[in-house]
Amino acid sequence: MNEPRVYKTSPLLLILIAIVFLFFLGIVWTAFGSALTQYAIPVLAFMAFIFGLLFISLTSKTIVSDDEISVQGLFGAKTLRWMEIGHVSGWGGTMKLHSRDEDVNLSISSRMPGYLEVIEAVGAKRPELFSPRDYPEMRRGLGFFTSLGVFLLLFLGFIVFFVSELLASGNLSVENLIPFAILFLMLLAFVGMFLSAPRVVLMEGDQLTLRYILSERIIHASEVSFVQLRYTQTRNGRHYFIFLQLTNGKSIKISGMSLSLPIAYLVLRNWQQGKLHI
């Protein structure tokens, strides 16, 4: 029997968060001075709320054993034996495990320590919960296209404003056109992102159909070397996505589906490994 695996946040990170909070507290105290009680209480309350949520999420501890999974936090612990899991649900990067009688619901979020390892453990212990038969179709969430549309409108607005200002001034020198060229290239990048994102993912047998805004692509399980859940580190944290490595050296990235990302990942991995009827 393997020893239970424990995933928790390093105490050094928790200390760093506390130091950052005290630093911002000092800035607010210096900025408001004698008017601290009158104007800064809402600011301090908001800061305390945000840092409190972050601290609580990072102090959780996840324990994975051969028989069960347990999540322990400041307000208690939740434990589920693997065979007690009746079904899964979720949204975004979160996956929720439900007991058969719904008396215990255990959430696995991307902020948890050991997130990727825990997702892999759930998929290995209960692969039948992620059958391609139960999730034959995945559609991209409306939020993805809405956010991209907002960015496109903002960029178009900037470009229209910039062009109108140039035409009004009559100064069309190369130096003044450089910002316009940069904005135009950024607009093209956003348009390319919009068009290259799969809108619908369909699984039928060993065939995977990817439907885009302007095209459709069909690949077979034998054309996929492996499927992984990866992430890129940004200023706003980790951005997770599903990575499909093809045998021809090309790759496909999938994210922003209406279905929970870890559920979509485990379903696609089972499809690629030929587990079509689990």
Q: Which of 42-56, 77-91, 124-138, 189-203 has the lowest mean pLDDT?
A: 42-56
Backbone angles phi, psi at 67, to 5 degrees: -105, -25
Q: What is the C-alpha to C-alpha distance for residues 234 and 141, in angstroms, rounded to an integer?
A: 21
Handedness of CA 179, 185, 189, 190 (dihedral sign): positive
**Average pLDDT for 132-159:** 77
pTM score, whole prediction: 0.74
Structure tokens at 98: 């439900």
- Mean pLDDT for the chain? 82
| Helices vs. strands in the chain: H and E counts, helices first | 6, 14
Q: Which of 120-129, 197-206, 221-230 has the lowest mean pLDDT?
A: 197-206
Higher model confidence: residue 189 or residue 125?
Answer: 125
pLDDT tens digits for range 106-138: 989 888 888 999 999 999 999 999 999 999 998
Q: What is the pLDDT, as a whole number, of residue 197?
A: 76
Q: What is the pLDDT, as a whole number, of residue 201?
A: 92
Q: What is the pLDDT, as a whole number, of residue 258?
A: 84
**pLDDT band per the 50, 70, 90 thresholds, residue 51:** confident
Handedness of CA 178, 196, 245, 265 (dihedral sign): positive
Q: Which fold has domain 197-272?
A: PH-domain like (2.30.29)
Q: What is the C-alpha to C-alpha distance for residues 269 and 26, in angstroms, rounded to an integer?
A: 49
Count CA atoms within 13 Å of residue 50 on its CB side. Answer: 11
Q: What is the pLDDT, as a whole number, of residue 226?
A: 95
Could you state, in order of their start, the residue ranges of all structural domains in the chain?
5-125, 142-195, 197-272
Q: What is the 3-state secondary structure (H, E, C) of 170-186?
A: CCCCHHHHHHHHHHHHH
pLDDT at 278 over 60: no
Domain 5-125 has CATH 2.30.29: yes
**pLDDT band per the 50, 70, 90 thresholds, residue 26:** confident
Q: Which of 152-166, 199-213, 238-252 has the lowest mean pLDDT?
A: 152-166
Q: 140 Cβ partners below 8 Å, 6+ apart? A: 197, 198, 199, 200, 256, 257, 258
**pLDDT band per the 50, 70, 90 thresholds, residue 89:** very high
Q: Hey, do 5-125 and 197-272 end up sharing a CATH topology, with the first three levels equal?
A: yes
